[in-house]
A and B are shown apart, each in its own frame.
Chain A
Amino acid sequence: MSNIALPKIDQSTINKKEYIFKKLKKLTSPENILSYEAEIKPYETDALTAYKQKPLCVVLPEKTQEISNILKFCYEENIKVIPRGAGTGLSGGSLPLQDAILLSLTKFNKILEIDFGNKCVVAQPGVTNLSITHAVQHKGFYYAPDPSSQLACSIGGNVAENSGGVHSLKYGTTTNNILGVEIVLMDGTICRLGGKTLDQEGYDMLGLICGSEGLLGVITEVTVKILKKPQTVRAALIGFPSHEDGGKCVSEIIANGIVPAGMEIMDKALIIATDNFSKAGYPRNAELLLIVELDGTVSEVDELINKVSEISKKNNSLNIKISKNEKERLSFWIGRKAAFPACGAMAPDYYCMDGSIPRGKLAEALKEINNLSKKYNLPVANCFHAGDGNLHPLIMFDGNKEEELKKTEEFGAEILKMCVRFGGALTGEHGVGVEKRELMCEMFNDNDIQQQLNIKKSLDNKNLLNPGKVYPILRKCAEEGRVHVHSGEEKFSDIPRF
């Protein structure tokens, strides 16, 4: 397990834990408080399993008013609180603290209203992303953001992290697909932001809460927009002889006015790894594989997929397959969706990085990552949401060798710094959490960070809600930033990650 600086432990909180348990039992049902070691062990980490820490206790409230009362009590008693959704986050955003209450929202698991008239669904935060689509698909609707963990991740967590998915270029991320939330502030104030209308009056606090990683308020209800399913979806599977050709093709697709629903890239290492793992039938001679997915009306998709095919040929594509039916389209994705487990099968451990770069820098970024791979003598495989510039290099290593872990950490940090240098971002969709906290100064200077901290202070003046996350504690650029998976022991290893 890696070491990381966490906020100073408040011994007085630990000393009065019996009093805290007693009080909490009055604020929610006693069976909603977990305090025995065996009960709280499952909560000691989220999906960033490199970091583990047991909380003081776990509370599983069932009503908004209970959360309000609990937070008010914690505020008055100066007790830290860590909110947690499904615990599928990849950046340690819900890593517990020894002197903090872990507030789990898993009992908030009901869809409260399906409003086809206003094209929205009101859900409690513990409802999974995919179950929203399941609830409305009988009428041809769906919820657009589709993080790869959508089977297990909760909508509240999606809001906290501003989750994306493979279709973000066309459909946006969570922030572009929610209409309202109910939140509870650290002092217990319950507040509704937005509702069922487009936009909202005054400051866009819905936009502020979305992606705030549980630092500003506890989300207790979410209203999401639902969309009508497109008439048709088709995909093209294209192999290229070089990174440059593939990168140029991506840029030209965009330059030709095409906005694909999804555009995914895999490098040779990953093509081979996934093809071995899932027998996807990918072109093993290609240096770069591109999957372009288009959706919309039938004639438009037909027209555009032909255009994509022409652009690919112009850019020296080795082979192009265009899906003729839904079965074939899904078969194109099999290998891509197996990217993470395929890497897990190739090495004892892997780190998944998450940075964003401008699309045009793709070939340059892959070259630099490969050079770093040689420098650190560690293999790397790359997948890339090319449509929106989100890069996920997977560094393979053996965590039993201490030296390799350190090298991997340095390698990962260099990749993220490169993303920022190329004009991209430190994190595209996994969040900062504890993982990339000390790298924030790569993107922001002291003034930028101070402004964000001022906002945090204005809504949580005692810094009790999810402290130690997102903003640097050390205020120096430590060499961190990765998802650590050991021997395939990824938390929620049964859910797809891509």
Chain B
Amino acid sequence: MSIVEKKNFQTFQDSNSIYKPSNEREASNIIKEIYNKNLPIKIIGTNSKNFIGNKLLCTKVLDLSSLSGIVEYLPDELYIKVKACTPISLIEETLEKNNQQLAFEPIDFGYINDFKSNKGTAAGQLSCNFSGSRRFKVGSIRDHVLGFRGINGKGDIIKSGGTVVKNVTGYDLSKLVTGSFGTLTVLTEITFKVLPAKDSINTIVIYSEDNKIITNLFDQLLSSSNEISGLVYIPNEPKNNNYTINREKILKFNDLTSEEAFLALRIEGSKKSIEERSREIFKELELKKMKTSILDFYQSKLFWEKVNNIELFSGTKNNLLRVIIPPAKSLDLMKYLKDNFKYYIDWCGSLFWIEVIDNENGKIKEIKNIVLKLGGYLTIVKYSENLSSDIDLFTINDTRLLLSKKIKESFDPKNLFNPGKMYREI
């Protein structure tokens, strides 16, 4: 569903309508109360990703921002256990001190929403399951959640998983909860797997706007044993001021010719290993025949941050689509997009971020049809005020919707958690 207006529904919030528990037990008691009173609630952390998903029409808000802090961090055991609304920035700072990282690269959605950084909380990242540029190499957020504690729709405190990577005890609810947009449980504690950060980074930039060359490079690099950890294609911006025209400003680097379409690939590791792999990649892809440049450590770090944080669509007022397709189908989608859209491709051909102008509802429908035919799916991450009400923000088919309803009911039988955030009746 998209935005359904219910005129008789109270949409404002006052202080009496906000619950702000200071611990898990309090949160559980609140949910028991709302369960008894049948009160639907909107669950928030620090509101950094509030704009994603359907607007909620709940009279009550459950503000979990007080559930914050690192519970346990054992670098040798490669995990960090945090309270649900611990800021991602705090987690990253803590890990950095031990040269470790959240390898899935949390996306900073602050830029597309409001031009500035706002990484939000652990629970927010987990609830969206939108992973960064390293995803095709190391897995998504769901692959880095070892366990969680939370509260189901009846107010019962539940847990699943633990702190070890090898654990097949009972159903893997961590996977189910990740990407559920707060519709299944109120998260209270999360354990992430952490990994060592690599010593250095380098980026090879290959200039080309030939779609066939680009998609061939995607294929070759996905088949390479040279272990690349980022591959993005950034085409030229369309000559249309209705799009977010900012490429020159955002991608201003000494060693990047920003007015040309290019493919950038990231190599991480020790300096020696990077040198060796870069040499091999040049040979493997016959790059001497092409125009290339190299971004050094500092430029690379900044470049991938900007890519990861979708800064090319900073503050957009248009619709922003996140499209996932099988990587070998990327040429088909590029053929449709041509230079009529502002877009870029991440995850080695699998992830497209596409901007669609404010009132072009028909174009969104066309893209959706193509994506479904290609075996992919689409999420409208940010939507304009003029998005037609017959366009769903998320993709799902009837059988999966039926299953999803059953799963939802098993966690939240009265449909009180973020009702309608993803799909109708869920």
Select which of B78, B273, B350 is within 8 A of A300 by beta carbon. B273
Q: A257-B99, A356-B167, A358-B77 are in contact. Are A204 and B175 (CB under 8 A)?
A: yes
Contacts of A257 in B (CB 8 A): 99-100, 196-197
Would you call B165 and A169 a contact (CB within 8 A)?
Answer: yes
B358 CB within 8 Å of chain A: no
Distance A210 CA – B168 CA, assembled complex (angstroms): 9
Distance A450 CA – B158 CA, assembled complex (angstroms): 9
A447 CB within 8 Å of chain B: yes
Select which of B99, B375, B402 is within 8 A of A195 by beta carbon. B375
Would you call A228 and B75 a contact (CB within 8 A)?
Answer: no
Contacts of A296 in B (CB 8 A): 227
Q: A117-B328, A189-B399 are in contact. Are A198 and B140 (CB under 8 A)?
A: yes
Distance A359 CA – B327 CA, assembled complex (angstroms): 37
Would you call A357 and B164 a contact (CB within 8 A)?
Answer: yes
Q: A205-B400, A259-B195, A358-B164 are in contact. Are A212 and B225 (CB under 8 A)?
A: no
Distance to closest chain A CB from B345 (angstroms): 13
Would you call A115 and B168 a contact (CB within 8 A)?
Answer: no
Contacts of B164 in A (CB 8 A): 356-358, 388-389, 423-425, 428
Would you call A251 and B324 a contact (CB within 8 A)?
Answer: no
Contacts of A259 in B (CB 8 A): 195-196
Distance to closest chain B CB from A75 (angstroms): 15
Select which of A197, A210, A360 is within 8 A of B377 by beta carbon. A197
Would you call A168 and B152 a contact (CB within 8 A)?
Answer: no
Contacts of B129 in A (CB 8 A): 199, 204
A19 CB within 8 Å of chain B: no
Would you call A203 and B407 a contact (CB within 8 A)?
Answer: yes
B388 CB within 8 Å of chain A: no
Contacts of B74 in A (CB 8 A): 358, 360
B178 CB within 8 Å of chain A: yes
Q: A201-B379, A202-B423 are in contact. Are A211 and B172 (CB under 8 A)?
A: yes
Q: A117-B328, A207-B176, A447-B158 are in contact. Are A197 and B350 (CB under 8 A)?
A: yes
Distance to closest chain B CB from A55 (angstroms): 25
Distance A201 CA – B411 CA, assembled complex (angstroms): 19
Contacts of B219 in A (CB 8 A): 117
Contacts of A172 in B (CB 8 A): 139, 143, 165
Contacts of B100 in A (CB 8 A): 257
In the complex, the chain A residue whose C-beta lies closest to that of B397 is: A192
Q: Mark B269-292, 1 if CB is under 8 A from A, else 0.
A: 110110011001000000000000
Would you call A196 and B168 a contact (CB within 8 A)?
Answer: no
Distance A281 CA – B358 CA, assembled complex (angstroms): 71
The interface size bin for chain B is: 35 or more
B226 CB within 8 Å of chain A: yes
Q: Mark A118-142, 1 if CB is under 8 A from B, else 0.
A: 1100000000000000000001110
Select which of B172, B224, B227 is within 8 A of A207 by beta carbon. B172
Q: A198-B350, A459-B403 are in contact. Are A303 and B273 (CB under 8 A)?
A: yes
Would you call B175 and A195 a contact (CB within 8 A)?
Answer: no
Would you call B400 and A191 a contact (CB within 8 A)?
Answer: yes
A7 CB within 8 Å of chain B: no
In the complex, the chain A residue whose C-beta lies closest to that of B199 is: A257
Would you call A200 and B272 a contact (CB within 8 A)?
Answer: no
Would you call A119 and B167 a contact (CB within 8 A)?
Answer: no
Select which of B75, B165, B276 is within 8 A of A388 by beta carbon. B165
Contacts of A230 in B (CB 8 A): 225
Number of residue pairs A-B, CB distance < 8 angstroms: 260
Select which of B78, B173, B227, B377 is within 8 A of A200 by beta carbon. B377
Q: A175-B172, A198-B140, A207-B176 are in contact. Are A451 and B404 (CB under 8 A)?
A: no
Q: Mark A171-202, 1 if CB is under 8 A from B, else 0.
A: 01101100000000100011111011111111
A308 CB within 8 Å of chain B: no
Would you call B166 and A385 a contact (CB within 8 A)?
Answer: yes
Q: A199-B324, A202-B396, A450-B156 are in contact. Are A297 and B225 (CB under 8 A)?
A: yes
Would you call A255 and B404 a contact (CB within 8 A)?
Answer: no
Distance to closest chain A CB from B218 (angstroms): 10
B135 CB within 8 Å of chain A: yes
Q: A360-B74, A444-B159, A447-B156 are in contact. Are A208 and B169 (CB under 8 A)?
A: no
Chain A: interface residue total (CB-CB under 8 A): 93
In the complex, the chain B residue whose C-beta lies closest to that of A161 is: B168
Select which of B157, B270, B408 is within 8 A of A303 by beta carbon. B270
Q: A176-B139, A451-B173 are in contact. Are A254 and B78 (CB under 8 A)?
A: yes
B26 CB within 8 Å of chain A: no
B136 CB within 8 Å of chain A: yes
Distance to closest chain B CB from A294 (angstroms): 12
Distance A168 CA – B146 CA, assembled complex (angstroms): 14
Would you call A211 and B168 a contact (CB within 8 A)?
Answer: yes
In the complex, the chain A residue whose C-beta lies closest to that of B399 is: A191
Q: A118-B327, A428-B166 are in contact. Are A452 and B171 (CB under 8 A)?
A: yes
A231 CB within 8 Å of chain B: yes
Would you call A451 and B152 a contact (CB within 8 A)?
Answer: yes
Contacts of A447 in B (CB 8 A): 156-158
Distance A230 CA – B225 CA, assembled complex (angstroms): 6
Q: Mark B247-283, 1 if CB is under 8 A from A, else 0.
A: 0000000000000000000000110110011001000
Contacts of A118 in B (CB 8 A): 326-329
Would you call B404 and A203 a contact (CB within 8 A)?
Answer: yes
Distance to closest chain B CB from A406 (angstroms): 25
Would you call B273 and A431 a contact (CB within 8 A)?
Answer: no
Contacts of A359 in B (CB 8 A): 76-77
Distance to closest chain B CB from A374 (angstroms): 27
Contacts of B351 in A (CB 8 A): 198
Contacts of A412 in B (CB 8 A): none
A298 CB within 8 Å of chain B: yes
Contacts of A425 in B (CB 8 A): 162, 164, 166-169
Q: A197-B324, A207-B176 are in contact. Are A297 and B277 (CB under 8 A)?
A: yes
Contacts of A385 in B (CB 8 A): 166
Would you call A390 and B166 a contact (CB within 8 A)?
Answer: yes
Seed contacts A175-B172, A192-B399, A205-B400; 15 additional CB < 8 Å A-B pairs: A118-B329, A172-B143, A172-B165, A175-B175, A197-B325, A202-B179, A297-B280, A303-B272, A423-B163, A425-B167, A428-B164, A447-B156, A447-B157, A452-B173, A458-B406
23 pairs, A vs B, C-beta closer than 8 Å: A117-B219, A117-B328, A168-B166, A176-B139, A189-B402, A199-B129, A203-B403, A208-B173, A211-B171, A229-B225, A230-B225, A300-B269, A360-B74, A360-B76, A388-B164, A428-B168, A431-B168, A432-B168, A436-B169, A444-B169, A448-B170, A450-B156, A451-B152
Q: Interface residues, chain A, CB within 8 Å of chain B?
A: 115-119, 139-141, 161-162, 164, 168-169, 172-173, 175-176, 185, 189-193, 195-208, 210-212, 216, 228-231, 251-252, 254-255, 257-259, 296-300, 303, 356-360, 385, 388-390, 423-432, 436, 440, 443-444, 447-452, 454-455, 457-459, 470
- List 6 A-B pairs, minimum CB-CB distance, nearest first: A207-B175, A117-B328, A257-B196, A428-B166, A425-B167, A196-B326
